[in-house]
Amino acid sequence: MNQKGGVGKTTTAVNVAAGIALAERPTLLVDLDPQGNATTGLGVQKSGLYPTVYHAILGSEPAEKAIRETALPHLRLLPSDIDLVGAEVELVALDDREHRLRATLAPVTPAYEYVIVDCPPSLGLLTINALVASDRVLLPLQCEFYALEGLTHLLTTIKLVRERLNPGLRVEGIVLTMFDGRTSLAVQIRDEVHRYFPGEIFQTVVPRNVRLSEAPSHGKPVMLYDLRSAGAIAYLELTREVLHHA
């Protein structure tokens, strides 16, 4: 999660999920963003899609019915589309509104070793639901000033959720994304993050990479699009770190 858009949340969710699946660990990717970019990024067409995570979280269909197969044998997808925008409003009136995603996923999680949730770029009820349903939160951080500025606020939100709704929640780590070592600002941001959050940063730094940007338009994780690209190598390394942390 990260409340800022364009920092690599979906790219990270899709490619870490794909990396774990390539390690033959049963994995479910939950697209909780109404934009549905993780859904199209795995080659699932949003047009006429039914049911989706929207129907599951509001209780009109079971999650199991909405889950789709992907090009990777060990990766499944709980898809999203624009209907999910309405869930932010509809959840307000429901009992246990912060716990709906946890309850939705409970019947299906035993089938998976990992469930990864791609959050929307906001701190609304959908993101709170994701934090309540999760054990750990991974924070993609673009190497630019405004991204760093919002990190403290983000960590405060996680702390509040831990205190009030999900005592088991912890930060998995911060992953630096869209890194361009040719710019002094990117290097400066990297050094600042290491200084203020020592021990919380993944060693893997995800570079700016054309193949990484192209892969979603082909409906593929970058490993299936170009395994030798710098983006694929970085996300395989990040996946290795995530598995090692477990």
At residue 152, the pLDDT reads 84
Q: How confident is the model at residue 98 (pLDDT cuts 50, 70, 90)?
A: very high
Q: What is the pLDDT of residue 228?
A: 96
Residue 246 pLDDT greater than 80, yes or no: no
Across the range 201-230, mean pLDDT stands at: 96
Q: Can you give the pTM of this predicted structure?
A: 0.95
Query: pLDDT tens digit string along 101-114?
Result: 999 999 999 999 99
Q: What is the phi-psi region of residue 181: left when phi exceeds 0, alpha when psi lies from -120 to 50, beta otherwise? A: alpha
pLDDT band at 141 (very low <50, low <70, confident <90, very high): very high
The model's confidence at residue 44, banded by pLDDT at 50, 70 and 90, is very high
Amino acid at 185: L
The DSSP element (H or E) to which 191 belongs, if any, is helix 184-196
pLDDT of residue 112: 98
Cβ distance 125 to 97 under 8 Å? yes
What pLDDT is recorded for position 3? 86
Query: In angstroms, rounded to a whole number, what is the distance separating the alpha carbons of residues 43 and 236?
Result: 20
pLDDT in tens, 166-194: 999 999 999 999 988 788 888 888 888 88
Domains of the chain, each with CATH number or no CATH? 9-239 (3.40.50.300)
For 83-113, give the secondary structure using H, E and C: HHHHHHHHHHCCCCHHHHHHHHHCCCHHHCC
Q: Give me the mean pLDDT over the 208-237 stretch.
A: 96
pLDDT at res. 143: 80
List the one residue out of 176, 160, 103, 150 whose CA is nearest residue 128. Answer: 160
